[in-house]
Amino acid sequence: MKRATLDLLCCPDCRGALSLDDEHGDDVVNEGTLSCSHCGRDFLIGNGIVRFISHKDLEGLNRYFARFYDRFSRFEGVFDKLSFLSMGGERKARMEILHRLEHNNGRILEVSIGTGRNLPYLFESAETCEVYGLDISAPQLARCLRLADKRGWPVELFLGMAEVLPFRSETFNSVFHIGGINFFYQKKKAIDEMIRVARPGCKIVIADESERVARFIARLLRLSRSNQGKKVDTSVPVHLIPETMEEIRVDGIWKRHGQYHGYCLEFRKPA
C-alpha cells in the first residue's frame, strides 16, 4: 500500500481516522498496523494489503462465501473462461460491463475485485490511472496482487466487506461491482456504501447473473434459506437504489441461446 493511500481510508466500523504504525517510514508500506483514533481498533497490513476483517467478523452468507472463495480461488480463472465461452468469450462478456464505466482519469474502485480478472481490460484504457480493489477473500486478493505486481499495474488491495467499506466518503471517480452482489449478506448496505464512497456526479455500475441463473445457483449450493433463515433474495437489486439517484437503468447482458444470463444496473450519484 502506498503511504499516500492512508488519506483515503477510514475505520470500517466507526469511520474514524486511521493512523499508521510502521517501522520503516517508506513510501510503500508492506507491513504495519493501522489504528483507529476513534474506536481504537487495529488493522494489520501484510504484503501491502490491509486486513479490515477476519473470518470471525463475518455473518450469514458473507461467512459462507468467504470460505467458498478461499477454496475456489485457484479454479476461478478456468471457471470464468469456460462459463463465458458460450457468450462470446470472457473479453466480450467483461467488456459488456466495463465499457459503461467512466474512468475520468481518476481513482477506480472495484468492490469484490476477486483475482483481478477485470484488470487487463481496465488497464487497456489510457484513462485508467489507479485501481483500488476490495474483497472478502484473502486468497482471491493474494492472486490479484501477484497479477498486478507481475504486470506493474498500480492497484491497491483491501480485505474487507462490501457492506462496510473502509474508505472515506466521496473518494472515487468510478465505482463498479461484478459477480457477487446476488448473494451478499446485506445488499442494500453494500449499495449505500458504493454510493457513499463515490464522488458527486460519479457513475456506479453493478452487474451479476440474472435472477433465473441466481435462483439456479442458490438451489445448487442449497442456499435457499441460508441467509439467517430468511429466503435468499435473488432479484435484480434495482429496488434498492435510492430514488435520489439519477439515470437509473438496467440492461440484460451475457446473452446465450436468446436469453440474458446477467444484468447490468447503472446509475449516477447526483453532482
39: left (phi over 0), alpha (psi -120 to 50) or beta: alpha
Complex with ligand SAM: residue 62 or 171, whichever CB lies closer: 62
Complex with ligand SAM: residue 22 or 192, whichever CB lies closer: 192
Round to whole Å and give the CA distance between 134 and 43.
15
SS3 86: coil
Complex with ligand SAM: residue 228 or 244, whichever CB lies closer: 228
In angstroms, give the least distance from the CB of 80 to ligand SAM. Answer: 6
C-alpha cell at 49: 494489503
Complex with ligand SAM: residue 140 or 171, whichever CB lies closer: 140
Round to whole Å and give the CA distance between 127 and 200.
19
Residues forming the site for ligand SAM (CB under 6 A): 62, 65, 69, 112-114, 117-118, 135-137, 140, 161-163, 178-180, 184-185
In angstroms, give the least distance from the CB of 56 to ligand SAM. Answer: 15
In angstroms, give the least distance from the CB of 117 to ligand SAM. Answer: 4
C-alpha cell at 55: 473470518
In angstroms, give the least distance from the CB of 27 to ligand SAM. Answer: 28
Complex with ligand SAM: residue 48 or 179, whichever CB lies closer: 179
Pair 143, 172: CB distance under 8 Å: no
CB closest to ligand SAM, residue no:
114
Q: Is the dihedral of CA 195, 227, 224, 90 positive or negative?
A: positive
In angstroms, give the least distance from the CB of 199 to ligand SAM. Answer: 21
CA-only gyration radius of the chain, Å: 18
In angstroms, give the least distance from the CB of 108 to ligand SAM. Answer: 13
Q: What stretches of 218-258 adopt beta strand conformation (E)?
A: 246-256
Count CA atoms within 13 Å of residue 210 on its CB side.
12
Complex with ligand SAM: residue 12 or 114, whichever CB lies closer: 114
Give the strand pairing for 259-268 and 203-209.
antiparallel
